Structure 1
Amino acid sequence: MAVRASREIVIDAPPEAIIEALADVESVPSWSSVHKRAEVVDTYPDGRPHHVKVTVKVVGIVDTEVLEYHWGRDWLVWDADKTVQQHAQHVEYTLHREGEDKTRVRFDITLEPWAPLPEFLVSRARKKVLKAATEGLRTRVMGSVGADPAT
């Protein structure tokens, strides 16, 4: 049975800064508590990640996934096929500009675990993933907005 979760937040930054932070996938373990490793396997001609190998740990469950990324100007989608722990995974970040330097970020995830999980584990995992995907992203973006690129 598929597990779904979503959350929206507003980040005080333009969509371009958020997409840039998401494109820096190798830094994701520094701001997402569920990501233990992230490695770009290959890129699109514009340099953005195409396939990314990640190791994640959520509520004691460890999984290694190869994600296929697709990019738009104000969105990011990734999909994972079968892994040790999942039949499939689909994630979407959708960005909507709200003024000059504010962006509404919507994060949606759907995954199909190999085996049924107790609801208390699903609930804990959902909270942890949503917090990492939104609040962690906000921390990463706000730490880089206005930062001097030479430092």
Structure 2
Amino acid sequence: MSDLSSSTITIDAPLADVQGALFALGQYPTWSSAIKSSEVVESDDQGRATKVKMTIDAGMMKDRVILDYDWSKAPGQLTFSLDDADLLTGMDGSYSIKAIDEDTTQVTYELGVSLSMPIPAMMRQKAEKATIDQALAQLKAALEA
């Protein structure tokens, strides 16, 4: 797997609200235009999604993926990895969430993808960064509305 691209954003919303949005994996299409569909396939004994099927259309990155979610570092961090996809051969990432104060939260999103076709690293990293920045901006807009 390649190095991860990342960005951080500050959201004017309480930590619990941000975690609520990020942890509701089946609801991603309500705030992320890149996630066309999101279906929870498996959950753990606490009701948290552990396997999610998504249809992604993030410009250059278009695919149907199944992601495995790891809650071992929650609630401060939620990580995911690729289980299966049509085109991608790897997809790893995480959301790290921390309170700045009671009404402000910082989110760092890391993402790394590997493709089944040869793409120059610079183009892949540019696409990862654009995907991250768009997701964080849309999360911020949804939570601050």
Q: TM-score range by the shorter chain?
A: 0.7 to 0.9
CA distance in 1, matches of 2:137, 2:40: 23
Q: Which moved more, 1:91-100 or 1:21-30?
A: 21-30
CA distance in 2, matches of 1:13, 1:44: 27
Structure 1 residue 97 corresponds to structure 2 residue 106:
no
Cα displacement (A) at 1:55: 0.7
CA distance in 2, matches of 1:123, 1:94: 20
Pairing partner for 2:118 from 100, 104, 116: 116
**Aligned-partner residue type, residue 89 of structure 1:** M
Cα displacement (A) at 1:39: 0.4
What count of residue pairs does the alignment treat as equivalent?
Answer: 143
Matched with 1:125 is 127
Matched with 2:44 is 44
Secondary structure of 1:92's partner? Answer: strand
CA RMSD in angstroms, aligned pairs only: 2.1
Flag structure 2 segments of 5+ consecutive residues without an equivalent: none
Instruction: Calculate percent identity across the aligned residue pairs.
Output: 27
Matched with 1:106 is 108
Deviations 1:22-76 (A, max 9, x none): 1222221122121111001121222221110001112254211111112212111
Structure 1 residue 141 corresponds to structure 2 residue 143:
yes
Cα displacement (A) at 1:16: 1.8
- Flag the structure with larger Rg: 1
Q: Which moved more, 1:102-111 or 1:126-135?
A: 126-135
